[in-house]
């Protein structure tokens, strides 16, 4: 889990769990990535169902 956090977000899990500002940045980035992926899925679905 530590390596995944470091690779994905550039911080370790300990820092993530201790620093609220870092946690908020990570969660905002996750939310943005999720929303972007949902837009991509919707676009692909529209192209498939033409």
pLDDT tens digit sequence for 1-50: 888 889 988 999 999 999 999 999 999 999 999 999 999 999 999 999 87
Distance of alpha carbon 40 from alpha carbon 3, whole angstroms:
27
Buried b (16+ CB within 10 A) or exposed e, 34-50: eeeeeeeeeeeeeeeee
Count Cα neighbours of 33 within 13 Å in the Cβ-side half-sphere: 8
Cα 37–Cα 2–Cα 29 angle in degrees, nearest 5: 30
pTM over 0.75: yes
Q: Tell me the C-alpha to C-alpha distance, in Å, between residue 35 and each of 6, 8, 32, 38, 50.
A: 22, 17, 5, 5, 23
């Amino acid at each position: 889990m530590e390596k995944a956090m470091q690779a994905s977000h550039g911080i370790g899990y300990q820092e993530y769990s201790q620093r609220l500002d870092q946690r908020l940045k990570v969660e905002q980035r996750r939310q943005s990535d999720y929303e972007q992926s949902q837009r991509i899925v919707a676009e692909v679905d529209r192209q498939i169902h033409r």
